[in-house]
Amino acid sequence: MTESNRISAMKRLTAPLMLALLLVAGAASAAGDAEAGKNKSMPCQACHSQDGNATVDPQYPRLNGQYRDYLVKALHEYKLGERKNPIMAGFAATLSDQDIEDLAEHFSSLPGGKLTDLHGKVSE
Amino acid sequence: MTRALLLATALSFALPAVAAEKGDAAAGKLKVYTCAGCHGIPGWKNAYPNYHVPKIGGQNYDYLVAALTEYKKGERSHPTMRAQGESLSEQDIKDIATYLSSLAP
């Protein structure tokens, strides 16, 4: 292999390598940490309860056992102002992407959830 | 400091909670037939953006009424849910929320 061939081979490899590294980094930051989420969930508990079942007031949704990716989406929508709620806008504005992943992991993985899908629960 | 303020604000909203007048659970059970098309399939995903359709059985009554009313008024943006919300009367929304909130896993 000549010197110029080696250089062009290296160039061809650089882009895929960079991409792979970015993907790995992206996947790592996307994963939520339930324990970290628990530590960040203190403000949430005032309305959504410590166990996420929102037993304080029925205007607040239950979060315990809700799908993780739905919770992530909802928090991003509040943060971006796509979902409008004065209380949640204030909280979501303070959250980083990692905070959102951690909180969603925490609430979606809590035991004792009262939420269910509608499988078998409609009139035929 | 900011979080403490937000917490205080949230609590002040929580205090004057009024018991809402509920709908008819039996009527609601008939009206959720359409909902089950997406919310009734365990693990079903919204096509785009790709995320799980939320669990709504057992959800709190007032929240369900607020969510459906927001879709009806176009204040929440999901296309399918806006179309569904537009087709619902206030009574439909109360009946559906009454039935859904009565469910348990």
Domains in chain B (CATH in brackets) are 20-102 (1.10.760.10)
Omega within 30 of 0 (cis) for the link into B49: yes
CA gap A51, A64 in Å, rounded? 7
Average pLDDT in chain A: 87
> Which residues of A are less than 8 Å from B42 in CB distance?
117, 119
> Residue B97 — very low, low, confident or very high, per pLDDT cuts 50/70/90?
very high
What is the pTM for the complete model shown?
0.79
The whole-number pLDDT of residue B40 equals 93
**Angle subtended at Cα A66 by Cα B95 and Cα B5, rounded to the nearest 5 degrees:** 95
Structure tokens at B86: 């537009």
- CA closest to B52 among chain A residues: A70
Closest Cα in chain B, distance from residue A54 (Å): 8
Q: Quickly state the pLDDT bin for A15 (edges 50, 70, 90).
A: low
User: Which residues share a beta bridge with B57?
Assistant: A116
Mean pLDDT, to the nearest integer, of A58-84? 97
The kind and range of the H/E element at A37 are helix A34-40
The lowest-confidence range among A6-10, A57-61, B80-84 is A6-10
Q: What is the pLDDT of residue B49?
A: 82
Contact B60 A122 (CB under 8 A): no
